[in-house]
Structure 1
Amino acid sequence: MIRKLALVPAVVVIVFAGACTTRTDDTTSSAPSRITTGPSIAANVPPTSSQVNKGRARVERDPCTDLSDEAVEAVGFDHLTRQRIDRIFDSYSFVGCQFDHEERDQFEMMTTTRTLQVYATNLTLDEFRGREGAAATPAQVNGRAAITYTDPSAEACYTVIETSYGTLDISKSVASVFTQEKPCDNMQEIASAIDTSMPD
């Protein structure tokens, strides 16, 4: 009887030790899932295009996969209209995504009244300044250096923001035949929200 009783405490210790080890493993294994969780995106888009980028770093940010549906809806566009609009050249790249906003017109037809385009690019802000010349107006977005300019022929307003990964090129265009909204209406707020929603 003495030998049997002597074994009982040893068994209890082993069970407790095993239980502690299991709890520690569970905590460790669950941590990466919180880190790797991506934005919520309902619409499927194709992968980004192949880049050439002679003499430049690759564009690593992608608005089509970095901007969540909630971020798109918050600035007034339909996340289900998400579509890829990359513009890839030999020496630089624009990795981009487009979103539309539709309203019902006088004939009860759904019509696109405004469009948002967001590009991550490896052009510098100085290069954008050089391209736009006197049309570029200095600005700041979330404390970052930026420029704004318009393209009246396209009924579009642009904000280009200097970032750690290059520049973020954001534009909003309108269809004036269907809306009284102006291209630059709320553009500062839209640019600020998009910049905040992109990973740095």
Structure 2
Amino acid sequence: MLASACAPGDHPTDPPAVTSAPTTTASMAVQVSPAPKQGRLVTDPVEWDPCFQVPDSVIEQLGFDPKTRQRGDWFDIEYTFLGCKFERRSVTLGMDTRDGILRIMSGSISLDQVRTKETTEFSVNIGSRDGVRWDDHEHCTVAMTGPDGVIYVSVDSSGNLSGWSGCDHLEEQSRAVESILPK
């Protein structure tokens, strides 16, 4: 994936400031913190924040628990990904287990930049948007054009005990996210 795990403040010139929360937010059972400050060389900051703009109803529709909403941003000096992750849980063999993780990210890079970095992808259309998909066992991702550059929808169901395969549902999950994106 084309992202660095650097957080704000990891670069000596980046102050640990935060941006303000978006003015339009979806209905959410759990509140998350506003996105941290974006990289100092990001020329087009990400404004569509999935942590604030993906409603609980969409997350529930996809079989994930909106109460597990957590911020999951990735930053670099030149690009930003604002993201959110959610868990899918079940009782398997009498134990409460995690079946999968859904991540939705809005990035400041273009789909063409993704295509140059991901070598095992194939083209997909998600609703009216161009995209690419790549799979790695039980972790798979769709990247599609988005309001600020690219939207990633990824699911990881590795290590689950229930047999649920997130990759079997990735394009359905991506279409649900695409349906709420600004046109």
TM-score range, shorter chain: 0.7 to 0.9
Q: Tell me how many residue pairs correspond in the alignment.
A: 161
Distance (whole Å) between structure 2 residues aligned to residue 192 and residue 83 of structure 1:
21
Distance (whole Å) between structure 2 residues aligned to residue 39 and residue 128 of structure 1:
28
Q: 1:55 to 1:43 in 2, by over 3 A?
A: closer
Report what 2:60 is aligned to. Answer: 73
Check whether the contact 2:45–2:148 (CA below 8 A) recurs between aligned residues: no
CA RMSD of aligned residues (A): 1.6
The two structures have a TM-score, normalised by structure 1, of 0.76
1:42 aligns with 2:52: no
| 1:53 CA drift (Å) | 5.0
Structure with more of its chain in helix, by fraction:
1
1:185 to 168, 173, 176: 168
Q: How does 1:44-59 map to 2 (within 5 A)?
A: 44-59=31-46
CA offset digits 1:135-174 (Å, max 9, x no partner): 010110012110000123xx20100001232110010110
1:121 aligns with 2:121: no
Check whether the contact 2:39–2:77 (CA below 8 A) recurs between aligned residues: yes
Check whether the contact 2:123–2:133 (CA below 8 A) recurs between aligned residues: yes
In structure 2, give the amino acid aligned to 1:118: I
| 1:175 CA drift (Å) | 3.1
In structure 2, give the amino acid aligned to 1:139: V
Report the 3-state secondary structure (helix = DSSP H, G, I; strand = E; otherwise coil) of the residue aligned with 2:105. strand
Whose Rg is larger?
Answer: 1
The two structures have a TM-score, normalised by structure 2, of 0.82
Report the 3-state secondary structure (helix = DSSP H, G, I; strand = E; otherwise coil) of the residue aligned with 1:56. coil
